[in-house]
């Protein structure tokens, strides 16, 4: 049994008359101790998918329209409130993009970690455990650091504190939503390295969300690519990066600037992620797709399962690239 | 002649030392920086957060006063100008910012926002001319002129950055200081904005001071690159050559942290331990020595000076005597 299995999840915002389906049939699987990366441009529905794992999105405004979220085999969407409270920050912990915004500015960081311990493991709510956690996340001189206020730490150090707090409950699943997006590339490399070593040391599973494909190769086992509320490609990370099948995945990979590449223009994905109110008919990516054929604008493609644990939502995945890059509206 | 010549520029901010603190201390945000920018050239500026990139960029166009040094723009020292004279020169240098969400006034439509820039410098004689000019600017940056009456919140992050660029372009500047203009954007949108900046440079002969922390982005857009650490330049060179064969250990670590998609890329990561130290009490000797994997005895005591290596490279490191 996988640690986490999301089956055909459907989420809506908006009114019942004019619903905005922001997650439309997402299925994902994550085994204990493994790392799954979820990538896609802003607005594709990564965060709402991640937040729904512990049912953190209040309803309303969101409506959980359909699907299941099985955590250790039990459906989170059907859990009574008391039980939900227990899995939040228990089995599942979260780390978000802005560590500065998630930490309380008026308390010392030691006290904040201790509070998290008091809640989940009261027998361990002491300085020794706080110091052990700070050491685990690579904070130097933890005995001194626990007396710091958040503003006395750099962004990278604050993110390490957030990870220490998330680890306080000894979660089986850590959901990290763009944990390095606000950080320098040097610090980003450190945090990714840290997450990777924590996975190995603690046997914890990680769902890592990012829009940057440049950081997934080092850490992920599997990679899922999301576009406009749907999964468009899933597979083992190496295979997907080496041989992406969906034109969107290919475009995302090509848009990462590469050092030492002597080109006058960077490759872009023309246009923008569609608005919620105006999801294109047929394949949602077709207006931006260099491979698009007439049927793509009318027939919504299914997610097809291929050999080697790969899935792709494009019937043209094995046809060669015939067209010139199409309708570059921007 | 150079468009811009910066000579030994320093910006120090006073900070209060505790409540009962005696005497003032200073943040040495920019600490003796010298460089030039030619017309139509892009100079990249890289370094980690807190090393002084924003302060340097703002000081160059006198949005923050400099403590010391000369800023020659078209041969004239703009750091010595009266407020009125400076205002009349502002048309020549503009700035675009990292955060396309907070750098536009939410209460102004795109037309009003760009029109305001035209009005300040009296560049549109009447309403019709103003509208015509705004439409042209929007087209130039890849936006639909029929959206001119919309407000910033109706646009995506990348589109807002285009609005910021159109506003800067409105006054026909010679230099634009771009402070991390793509750092907050999706990778796919980053590429669009960088291509746009290059096209505009070709069309209008603009010079850029382009600030970022991702060297892959900076390499692509820049002719030359400055690497900054704790308020000082540690290396400068032609961009391709600097990225191919970096000399300073700090430049090498920055390059090794650049995200790479290819899972088989055989590169060695040089992890930089720790953070940038406090610019209030910068380390003795070479400011990078506490984090430097190659530091030796004298790095702790002697400040390395910038020295020329070959025809187009300068580096401040004792490894290169
Ligand atoms: N509270 C909310 N109310 C209405 N729409 C929302 C809300 N939160 C997210 N959305 C919409 O859901 C879509 C997916 O958002 P999100 O999951 O944040 O995307 P991502 O994390 O991939 O950038 C977006 O179009 C966003 O505008
Ligand atoms: N107005 C100010 N007053 C005091 N210190 C400042 C001010 N602006 C910036 N600093 C400090 O100067 C240093 C350089 O900051 P900044 O130029 O923003 O760096 P960067 O843009 O490279 O991140 C930092 O230590 C910062 O805290
Ligand atoms: Mg998100
Ligand atoms: Mg800055």
Is the domain spanning B4-277+287-315 CATH 3.40.50.300? The answer is: yes
Which residues of chain B are within 8 Å of residue A47 when distances are taken between CB atoms?
Answer: none
Between strands A205-210 and A173-177, the pairing is parallel
Q: Is A307 on the interface with B (CB under 8 A)?
A: no
Q: What mean pLDDT comes out for the span A223-237?
A: 97
Distance B141 CA to ligand 4 centre (A): 24
Q: What mean pLDDT comes out for the span A219-228?
A: 96
A123-158: pLDDT as tens digits: 999 999 999 999 999 998 899 999 999 998 888 899
Of B142, B192, B271, the CB nearest to A189: B271
Q: What band does A324 get if pLDDT is binned at 50, 70 and 90?
A: very low
Q: What is the ipTM of this complex?
A: 0.85
| Protein residue whose Cα sits closest to atom 11 of ligand 2 | B29
CA atoms within 13 A on the CB side of A55: 23
CA atoms within 13 A on the CB side of A113: 34
Residues 6 or more apart from A54 whose CB is under 8 A from it?
A76, A84, A87, A88, A92, A94, A175
pLDDT of residue B17: 63
Give, rounded to a whole angstrom, the gap between the first and last alpha carbons of chain B.
31
The domain ranges of chain B are 4-277+287-315
Distance B94 CA to ligand 1 centre (A): 34
Q: For residue A40, give the ligand 1 atom closest to its CA.
A: 22
Strand partners, B42: B208
Q: What band does A325 get if pLDDT is binned at 50, 70 and 90?
A: very low
A269-284: pLDDT as tens digits: 888 888 777 889 999 9
pLDDT of residue B21: 57
- What pTM was estimated for this model as a whole? 0.90
Chain-centre distance of CA A204, in angstroms? 16
CA–CA min distance A121, chain B (Å):
30
Q: What band does B276 get if pLDDT is binned at 50, 70 and 90?
A: confident
Residues A222-231 as b/e (b if ≥16 CB within 10 A, e otherwise) read bbbbbbbbbb
Best B157, B165, B182, B186 member to test A by mutation, with max A CBs in 10 Å, is: B186
Asked if residue A221 has pLDDT above 70, the reply is: yes
Q: Who wins on pLDDT, A128 or A183?
A: A128
Nearest CA in chain B to A258: B216
> How does DSSP assign A244-313, residue by residue?
--SHHHHHHHHTS--TT---SS-----S-PPPGGGPPSSSTTGGG-TT--GGGGTSPPP-EE-STT-EES
pLDDT of residue B23: 67
Mean pLDDT of chain B: 91
Q: Which one-letter DSSP state was computed for residue A325?
A: P
pLDDT of residue A195: 93
Do the Cβ atoms of A253 and B261 come within 8 Å?
A: yes
Asked if residue B20 has pLDDT above 70, the reply is: no
Other C-beta atoms closer than 10 Å to the C-beta of A10 total: 16
Q: Is the Cα dihedral A42, A45, A48, A51 positive or negative?
A: negative
- CA angle, B198 then B203 then B205, to 5°: 85
B127-146: pLDDT as tens digits: 999 999 999 999 999 999 99
A40-67: pLDDT as tens digits: 998 899 999 999 999 999 988 999 999 9
Other C-beta atoms closer than 10 Å to the C-beta of A265 total: 11
Beta-sheet strands, E only, within chain B: 4-15, 25-37, 42-46, 68-73, 76-77, 93-96, 175-179, 207-212, 224-229, 232-238, 307-308, 313-315
pLDDT of residue A90: 86
Q: Which of B251, B249, B229 is nearest to B239 (CA)?
A: B251
Q: What band does B98 get if pLDDT is binned at 50, 70 and 90?
A: confident
Q: What mean pLDDT comes out for the span B25-50?
A: 95
A6-27: pLDDT as tens digits: 999 999 998 888 889 999 999 9
Q: What band does B187 get if pLDDT is binned at 50, 70 and 90?
A: confident
């Amino acid at each position: 049994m996988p640690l986490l299995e999301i089956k055909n999840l459907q989420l809506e915002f908006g009114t019942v008359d004019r619903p905005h389906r922001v997650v439309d049939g997402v299925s994902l699987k994550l085994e204990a101790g493994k790392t799954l990366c979820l990538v896609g441009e802003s607005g594709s529905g990564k965060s709402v998918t991640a937040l729904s794992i512990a049912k953190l999105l209040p309803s309303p405004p969101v409506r959980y329209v359909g699907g299941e979220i099985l955590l250790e085999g039990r459906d989170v969407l059907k859990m009574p409130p008391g039980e939900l409270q227990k899995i939040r920050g228990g089995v599942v912990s979260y780390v978000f993009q802005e560590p500065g915004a998630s930490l309380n500015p008026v308390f010392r960081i030691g006290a904040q970690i201790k509070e998290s311990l008091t809640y989940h493991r009261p027998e361990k709510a002491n300085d020794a455990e706080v110091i052990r956690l700070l050491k685990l996340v690579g904070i130097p001189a933890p005995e001194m650091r626990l007396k710091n206020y958040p503003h006395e730490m750099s962004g990278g150090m604050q993110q390490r504190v957030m990870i220490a707090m998330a680890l306080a409950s000894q979660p089986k699943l850590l959901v990290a939503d763009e944990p390095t997006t606000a950080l320098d590339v040097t610090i980003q490399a450190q945090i990714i390295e840290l997450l990777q070593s924590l996975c190995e040391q603690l046997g914890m599973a990680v769902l890592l969300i990012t829009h940057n494909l440049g950081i997934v190769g080092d850490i992920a086992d599997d990679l899922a690519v999301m576009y406009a509320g749907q999964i468009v490609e899933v597979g083992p990370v190496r295979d997907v990066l080496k041989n992406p099948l969906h034109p969107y995945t290919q475009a995302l990979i090509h848009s990462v600037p590469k050092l030492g590449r002597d080109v006058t223009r960077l490759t872009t994905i023309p246009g923008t992620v569609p608005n919620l109110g105006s999801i294109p008919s047929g394949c949602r990516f077709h207006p931006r797709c260099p491979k698009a054929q007439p049927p793509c604008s009318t027939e919504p493609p299914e997610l097809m399962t291929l050999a080697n644990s790969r899935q792709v939502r494009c019937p043209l995945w094995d046809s060669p690239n015939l067209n010139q890059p199409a309708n570059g509206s921007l | 002649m150079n468009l811009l010549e910066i000579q030994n520029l320093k910006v120090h901010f006073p900070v209060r030392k505790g409540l009962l603190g005696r005497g003032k201390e200073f943040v040495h945000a920019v600490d003796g920086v010298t460089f030039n920018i030619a017309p139509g050239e892009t100079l990249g500026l890289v370094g980690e957060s807190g090393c002084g990139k924003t302060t340097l960029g703002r000081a160059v166009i006198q949005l923050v006063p400099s403590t010391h040094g000369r800023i020659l723009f078209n041969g004239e020292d703009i750091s010595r100008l009266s407020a009125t004279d400076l205002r009349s020169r502002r048309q020549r240098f503009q700035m675009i910012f990292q955060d396309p969400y907070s750098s536009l006034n939410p209460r102004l439509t795109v037309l009003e926002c760009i029109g305001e820039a035209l009005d300040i410098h009296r560049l549109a004689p009447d309403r019709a001319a103003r509208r015509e000019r705004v439409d042209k600017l929007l087209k130039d940056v890849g936006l639909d002129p029929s959206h001119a009456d919309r407000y910033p919140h109706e646009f995506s992050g990348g589109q807002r950055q285009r609005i910021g660029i159109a506003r800067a372009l409105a006054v026909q500047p010679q230099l634009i200081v771009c402070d991390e203009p793509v750092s907050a954007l999706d990778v796919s949108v980053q590429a669009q904005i960088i291509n746009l900046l290059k096209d505009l440079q070709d069309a209008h002969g603009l010079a850029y001071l382009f600030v970022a922390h991702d060297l892959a982005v900076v390499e692509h857009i820049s002719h030359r690159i400055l690497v900054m650490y704790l308020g000082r330049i540690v290396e400068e060179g032609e961009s391709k050559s600097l990225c191919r064969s970096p000399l300073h250990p700090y430049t090498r670590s920055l390059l090794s942290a650049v995200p790479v998609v290819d899972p088989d890329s055989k590169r060695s990561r040089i992890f930089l331990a720790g953070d940038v130290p406090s610019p209030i009490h910068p380390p003795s000797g070479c400011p990078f020595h506490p984090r430097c994997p190659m530091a030796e005895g004298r790095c702790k005591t002697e400040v390395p000076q910038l020295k020329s290596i070959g025809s187009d490279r300068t580096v401040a490191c004792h490894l290169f005597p």
